[in-house]
Amino acid sequence: MAKNTQAMEIQPQENVPADEIERTRARRCFIPKADIYETEKEIIVLADIPATVDKKVDITLEKDILSISATINPVHTSGYDLTYAEYEEGDFQRSFRLSEEIDREKIEASVSDGVLRLSIPKVQGATARKITVKSM
């Protein structure tokens, strides 16, 4: 199990039916699975949002909440009737609470092959350092 970082609060996630989320679209909504890596200087979040392009991903930061929202366009293959489907279509939403250790002005995001990559830098001076004690 990954450690729970102090700079970013991660709540346990579960799939929530679309009718329990306040939405303006009548579609299923999924909580994307995410891997979170932390170094002394930044936090990297990799979130799975398949079938998404950068124009359909909305990332907002309001107060201490970083929210990810991705809209997926349904794929319909002409000339075929769907007989069986295991893949469900829907949109994606997930939020993280950030601490004061995060440099909010330098957060960057990119999407490649259905994976959203967030680079969340820490503020200068937020990294741990050793303080020398001098005798007087």
pLDDT, tens only, 44-79 = 999 998 877 767 899 999 988 999 999 887 777 888
Backbone angles phi, psi at 2, to 5 degrees: -70, 150
Chain-centroid distance of CA 31 in Å reads 9
Instruction: Name the residue range of residue 95's domain.
Output: 26-74+87-121
- Which residue did the predictor score with more confidence, 10 or 101? 101
pTM of the predicted protein model: 0.70
Residue at 82 is within a domain: no
Q: Which of 66, 69, 72, 82 is nearest to 119 (CA)?
A: 66
The residue written with tokens 């967030």 in the block is 118
Residue at 130 is within a domain: no
Q: How many domains does the chain have?
A: 1
Chain-centroid distance of CA 106 in Å reads 16
How far is it, in rounded angstroms, from Cα 57 to Cα 59? 7
**Local confidence band at 129 (pLDDT 50, 70, 90 cut-offs):** low
Tell me the percentage of the chain whose pLDDT exceeds 70.
Answer: 76
Residue at 4 is within a domain: no
Q: What is the CATH number of the domain that holds 51?
A: 2.60.40.790
pLDDT reading at 19 higher than 50: no
